[in-house]
């Protein structure tokens, strides 16, 4: 199964679980009349809506490139995550409204024991499905799956808070705690929505992923070949689950076309081994110049003009520059 179909399969399970858990939470609210449990149920409505949006976006993202979309359809995942983050924030605002209404017009809670058991079951299921979704999303570079997983796990943590609050209400009989717990969790949920929205907008605007670049540079520095004299003008852009990578690679000027192509192939194989198969790599090979000798580690070079002084480590500061490096 390729990454696109695997992402789609996982998201189908996420949607199915979201619908099931929403039904369970609404039953728990009907039994208890707790605004805190209603808070959890309202967030689950977002899970359901966002789940279907994520399912559609992954279906679009899995489509092959065409004439109108030469880079594929992967950006649909960023739009899905943006919608999901927005819905989470809206749900948090609705929860705050309901909590304030509960403070003004308090009502007695019922059958708390049954309600606690039901929401505890939903918390366990949410955490397991969220863990699987995040793991698969990171493996396949799918922002939509990671966003869904984080949303489910944030739902788990808020549910645990609700359970603790309901137990406290059960022990103390302080009904106003129900609204207070809901408001606190609403702000936590709102922050989660903001982080998902911020990440998705960064992807839409092609913001540099410094964490990914640092990891890639660590791999390149550790596996550097002697003919890879210099690397510059490196750019990595995400298109959903696909990485688009382009750079300039400086090699000895006397390599023929076949030999230079071999170095590019080795670079591609290294990235493929470390970062998965779903990527595009475009490398422009530059010939070395006289000043390159001082940073070149190739001992057997018969046309060396200057002695080797030191190898320049590739860092974010120098590989992003649009010029060859020198001492």
For residue range 45-73, what is the model confidence (pLDDT) as tens digits? Answer: 776 776 777 677 667 666 666 666 555 55
Please check whether residues 189 and 78 belong to one and the same domain.
yes
- The angle, 0 to 180 degrees and rounded to 10, between the axes of the packed helices 76-104 and 35-61 is 170
Q: What is the chain's pLDDT, residue by residue, as a tens digit (327 residues)?
A: 466 667 777 777 878 888 888 888 888 888 887 877 877 777 677 767 767 776 776 676 666 666 665 555 556 666 767 777 787 788 788 778 877 877 777 666 778 788 888 888 988 888 888 888 888 877 776 766 777 787 777 778 777 877 887 888 878 877 777 777 778 877 877 887 888 787 777 666 555 577 788 888 999 999 999 999 999 998 887 765 567 788 999 999 999 999 999 999 999 888 888 876 556 788 999 999 988 999 998 888 889 988 889 888 999 888 888 888 777
Q: Are residues 98 and 194 in the same domain?
A: yes
Radius of gyration of the chain (CA): 26
Give pLDDT, residue 223. 93
Residue ending a domain, among 147, 171, 204, is: 204
| Structural domain contains residue 326 | no
Predicted TM-score (pTM) of this structure: 0.56
Domain boundary among 173, 204, 235: 204
Judge whether 324 lies within some domain: no
Count of structural domains, the chain: 2
Per-residue model confidence as pLDDT tens digits over 69-85: 555 555 666 676 777 77
Per-residue pLDDT, 258? 95
Together in a domain, 168 and 252 = no
How much is the pLDDT for 241?
57
pLDDT at 229: 93
Position 259 scores a pLDDT of: 94
Query: Within this chain, do residues 184 and 107 fall inside the same structural domain, yes or no?
Result: yes
CATH number, domain of 185, equals: 1.20.1510.10
Which CATH number do you get for residue 257?
Answer: 3.30.70.1350
Q: Is residue 325 part of a domain?
A: no
Q: Which of 161, 184, 204 is the last residue of a domain?
A: 204
In a domain, 136, yes or no: yes
Q: Do 136 and 199 lie in a common domain? A: yes
- Considering the domain architecture, whether residues 237 and 161 belong to the same structural domain is answered as no
Same domain for 164 and 32? yes
Tokens of 27: 């039953």
Whole-number pLDDT of residue 253: 93
Evaluate whether residue 194 is within a structural domain: yes
Q: Classify residue 241: in a domain, yes or no.
A: yes
Residue 58 confidence (pLDDT) = 65
Shared-domain flag, residues 76 and 200: yes
Structural domain boundaries, residue 254: 210-319
Residue 327 placed within a domain: no
**Same domain as 223, residue 131:** no
Same domain, 234 and 105: no
Looking at the fold, whether 141 and 44 belong to one and the same domain comes out as yes
Does residue 10 lie in a domain region? yes
Same domain? 159 vs 234? no
């Amino acid at each position: 199964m390729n990454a696109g179909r695997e992402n789609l399969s996982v998201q189908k399970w996420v949607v199915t679980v979201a619908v099931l858990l929403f039904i369970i939470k609404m039953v728990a609210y009907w039994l208890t009349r707790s605004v805190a449990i209603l808070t959890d149920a309202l967030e689950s409505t977002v899970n359901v809506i966002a789940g279907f949006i994520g399912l559609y976006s992954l279906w679009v993202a899995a489509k092959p490139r065409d004439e109108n979309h030469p880079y594929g359809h992967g950006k649909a995942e960023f739009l899905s995550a943006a919608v999901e983050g927005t819905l989470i924030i809206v749900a948090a605002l609705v929860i705050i409204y309901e909590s304030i209404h509960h403070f003004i017009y308090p009502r007695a809670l019922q059958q708390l024991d049954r309600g606690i058991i039901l929401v505890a079951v939903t918390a366990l299921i949410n955490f397991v499905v969220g863990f699987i979704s995040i793991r698969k999303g990171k493996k396949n570079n799918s922002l939509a799956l990671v966003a869904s997983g984080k949303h489910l796990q944030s739902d788990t943590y808020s549910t645990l808070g609700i359970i603790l609050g309901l137990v406290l209400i059960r022990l103390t009989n302080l009904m106003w705690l129900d609204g207070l717990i809901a408001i606190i969790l609403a702000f936590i949920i709102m922050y989660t929505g903001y982080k998902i929205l911020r990440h998705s907008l960064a992807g839409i605007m092609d913001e540099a992923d410094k964490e990914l670049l640092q990891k890639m540079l660590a791999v390149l520095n550790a596996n550097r070949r002697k003919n890879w004299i210099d690397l510059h003008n490196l750019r990595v852009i995400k298109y959903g689950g696909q990485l688009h990578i382009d750079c300039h690679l400086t090699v000895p000027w006397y390599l023929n076309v076949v030999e230079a192509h071999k170095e590019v192939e080795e670079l591609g194989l290294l990235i493929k081994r470390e970062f998965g198969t779903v990527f595009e790599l475009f490398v422009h090979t530059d010939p070395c110049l006289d000043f390159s000798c001082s940073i070149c580690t190739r001992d057997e070079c018969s046309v060396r003009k200057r002695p080797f002084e030191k190898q320049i480590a590739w860092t974010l500061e120098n590989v992003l520059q649009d010029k060859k490096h020198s001492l």
